[in-house]
Each structure stands twice: as structure tokens, then as C-alpha cells.
A = this chain, B = another copy of it.
Amino acid sequence: MSFDRLIEKIAEKQNPTVAGLDPKLDYVPEYLKEKAFSKYGETLKGAAKALWWFNKGLIDALWDIVPAVKPQAAYYEMYGYAGMKTLYKTQEYARSKGLFVITDGKRNDIGSTMEAYAAAHLGKIRIGNESAEPFIGDALTVNGYLGSDCIKPVVKVCNEYDKGMFVLAKTSNPSSGELQDLKIGERTVYEVMGDMCEEWGKDIMGKYGYSGVGVVAGATYPQQLDTLRKRLPHTFFLIPGYGAQGASARDISSAFDGNGLGGIVNSSRGIMCAYQKEKCGEKQFAAAARREAIRMRDEIMEVVGSIKLVTI
């Protein structure tokens, strides 16, 4: 139920981080692109194949280090339906390696349309007498601007299939404050959103004290992260902004409780492009990603301390 499966994987690996799989074509080693383009042409299919080989190499290098991966839907949609096939294959392969899959889609809609998104990404769908799994995710990021009509259909699917969601509260980008920091009475917009998540989560509580309705809270705003943690004791955090976006391990320390639980920190570019930063040669991309994932784990665990599974 809820994020219990994620929390158990985090504790097992003593690592509260998630590797973002945002495969821009610029990140992909040339030799993989050449191989794909020579076989499929400089086409959407060729690009999608290159992304798939890149992701597979990354997953093979990371699966025993990180508890989770977070594919960013935009970078797959960017290559059309061929790209969406690579999203599916990436998710499927990550699951086969025991990884928790957080699909970063920031989806949002209402009623039966949101049910369609939830079924697409977290559940199963019915086709005649058969059922099918359109995409494979353990959690989905969601934008809550539309209110309960957007969230409740996802809660339902999460309860049915033992999945979770992360709702955008205070995002890591420079302009996040334009709306999110404005005051509604005594509360900011992101606090109002957070409070709604704490409330929605009551229908989907897990045994470690966290519900299945998490929030996205950026590491680039440590003060707001701290405020949200105090305000939302049962809400699990997905924390972007570490590394390439500028935040440090110290910035995210307040997101964690006394057992080292409460959040998972994302790094995408830092891990995927480690081979470019290391200048170790592109054929070493997977080994470099592994080194960076271990470095990041150790840096964050210094702040978090040890992670203990304590049921409530």
C-alpha cells in the first residue's frame, strides 16, 4: 500500500536517491547513436533505439545501487510513439531488475479522463475479455491545480494496484514562486496544496507512517522544504534540484525524519552525464554513472544517517 514498497527498497539499499532517466539525445554516447542511426536511419525510431540502449546500460549499472528510477515522460514523447515504446521498455526492464519506477509525467485532468491517465501509468485496462498494462509505473507525478477531481481517481488506482503518486507542491525551478509562493490568507499556495495532499493521503496510509499521496518539493528551496516537512508529517517527498540544479546534500537534510525516511532525492543529468564530466570516454558511460550514483548516495547518507524501518 502507498509508498511502503518504495520505503522498503530505500531501506534495503540504504539509499534515499532516485536516478532520473531523462535521455536527451545529446546525453547519449555517439557510438550508440551511430549504431542506431546506421540501422534505423536518423528517424524517430533510430533515436528511440539509441535512448533504449542508453537506458539499458544505465539500469544495468545502477540497479543494485539505487532503489528507484524516474523516467521523465517528456523525453520519450519527444520521439513520438517510437519514443513511448522506449518508455515502456525502459519501465519494463527497470521492473525486471527490482527497481521502483516513478514516471514523471505531471499528468492532470478530471474524472474519467484522469482515470484514463491513472490506468495508463499505474494500473491495468480492460480490452474485451483481456486486460493489459499500457505503461509500467509504481508512482506517477501529478499536478493538482484541478483539485480533488484530479487526485481521487489516482488514489483509487493506487489503492487497487499498490501504487503511489507525487503531487507538485513547491517545485525546484526559478519561477516556481510566481504562483506557488503567493499568500492565500496565512498560507502560501504550495502550503495549501501540501495540506490538501496530507488530507487526500488519509485514504491511502502506509505502515511506515507515510501515505501514498506524496509531494514534489524542490531541494533548491531548503527553507520551504523544511516548512513542508513540519507541516506534512505523513507525506513522502520527491526532491528534485540536487546536483545539476544546484542544491547540496545539506539543503535536503530537513526532509528526513529520525529514521532517515521521508523523502527520495533525484539526480538525472548528474548521473546520466557523469561520463562527460569525468571525461572518461563515452564507452565508460555506465561505469561513470555507477560511480556518480555511489558518490551521491554516500554524500546524502552522511546527512541522513542510517535508514531504519519502523512501523507505526
Contacts and interface: CB of A to CB of B under 8 A. Distances in A.
Interface in A109-132: 109-114, 116-117, 119-121, 125, 127-130, 132
A292 B269 CA distance: 50
Contacts of A80: 84, 88, 120, 132, 134-135
Contact of A134 (B79, B176, B189, B196): B79
Interface string A66-110: 000000101101111111110110000000000000000011111
Nearest to A126: B25
Given A37-B128, A113-B74, A146 B173 contact: yes
Given A134-B78, A134-B83, A24 B112 contact: yes
Q: Interface of chain A, helix or strand or loop or mixed?
A: helix
A214 interface: no
Interface in A281-312: none
Nearest to A128: B42
Interface residues of A, number: 74
Count of identical protomers in the assembly? 2
A192 B177 CA distance: 13
B149 A174 contact: yes
Interface in A15-41: 22, 24-25, 33, 37, 41
Given A77-B116, A147-B173, A147-B180, 6 more contacts: A33-B128, A41-B130, A44-B134, A80-B120, A84-B84, A145-B171
